[in-house]
Amino acid sequence: MTEKQHITIKGVKEGLVFLLDDKCEFSQLLDELHYKLDTSHQQLLTGPLVHVHVKLGQRQASEEQKEQIVNTIRKRGNLLVQSVEAEPAVGEAAAKDELKMLTGIIRSGQTIEHTGHLLLMGDLNPGGTLLCTGDIYVLGSLRGMAHAGIGGRTDVIIAASQLKPTQLRIADVISRPPDEWITGDTLMEFAFLQDGQMKIDKLSGLFRIRRDPIVFKGV
């Protein structure tokens, strides 16, 4: 093939990484993938079982297209596809760290969901729910259910002026019953994960685990 190469195959400690051009037509990409697997890179693509990670760049491939890529690679029996990943689209990476501000009271039966960090200027009442991919901050009383890191992030926190929730969740870790871990003084506290377990500390200690700035986005 003399035209521009759209696929780069690199050997790494874990196996192979397939770097796929995100600008060309998908059909071109698939044709080149077939070509490289069938006629080149024989030293890399033969021998014992090799783990493969596919990087799509910023190409937002459909599930069907991802399946086509995986099936093409699987035809060479010693290649085992471990992941097919795309980078966040332009703006998504910044969006996940933006802080959105809400004012008011979240009442029983109400659910607020947000991509990014969330600041509630008000109370979260029992029966109310906050769901967020990033941090949750409540400048008021947090007495309902708050779930931070709903996409799987474990580096997020849940903070409140008064932390007396019915339940807290960070990623897939659920807090113990409130009467087991709430102290007598529930003012200005935050929840975070440490070694896979939820911990509670005073907000004055946040600097020990958090150094990165958050982008504020007023609403």
Last residue of a domain, one of 43, 62, 85: 85
Cα 60 from Cα 215, distance rounded (Å): 25
pLDDT(217) > 80: no
Q: How many CA atoms lie within 13 A of 49 on its CB side?
A: 4
Mean pLDDT of 102-116: 93
**Tell me, what CATH number does 104's domain have?**
2.160.20.70
Same-domain pairing of 39 and 107: no
Could you report the per-residue pLDDT of 129-163, keeping only the tens digit for each?
A: 999 999 999 999 999 999 999 888 899 999 999 99
> Is 121 within the bounds of a domain?
yes
Give yes or no for residue 183 having a pLDDT over 90: no
Same domain, 141 and 207: yes
Same domain, 39 and 134: no
| Domain assignment of residue 75, yes or no | yes
What is the reported pLDDT for 36? 85
Q: In this structure, are 61 and 169 located in the same domain?
A: no
Rounded CA gap, 180 and 197, in Å?
A: 14
Domain that holds residue 34: 7-85
Report yes or no on 36 lying in a domain.
yes
Same-domain check for residues 54 and 105 = no
How many domains does the chain divide into? 2
Q: CATH no. for residue 66?
A: 3.30.750
Judgement on whether residues 98 and 177 belong to the same structural domain of the protein: yes
The whole-number pLDDT of residue 48 equals 79
What span, in angstroms and rounded, lies between the C-alpha atoms of 197 and 176?
A: 10
Asked whether residue 154 falls in the same domain as residue 79, the answer is no
> Does some domain include residue 1?
no
The per-residue DSSP string of 70-128 comes to HHHHHTSTTEEEEEEE-PPPTTHHHHTTEEEEEES-B-TT-EEEESSEEEEES-B-TT-
Asked whether residue 212 falls in the same domain as residue 156, the answer is yes
pLDDT one-digit tens code per residue, 79-108:
888 888 887 655 555 555 678 899 999 999
Q: Is 126 inside a domain boundary? A: yes
Residues 100 and 53 in one domain: no
Does 159 lie in the same domain as 58? no
Residue 12, exposed/middle/buried by CB under 10 A (0-12, 13-18, 19+)? Answer: exposed
Q: Which of 122, 92, 126, 135 is nearest to 107 (CA)?
A: 126
Report d(CA 144, CA 90) in Å as an integer: 34
Whether 80 and 100 map to the same domain: the answer is no
Q: Are residues 137 and 177 in the same domain?
A: yes
Q: Is residue 1 very low, low, confident or very high in pLDDT (cuts 50, 70, 90)?
A: very low
Looking at residue 212, what is its pLDDT?
Answer: 56
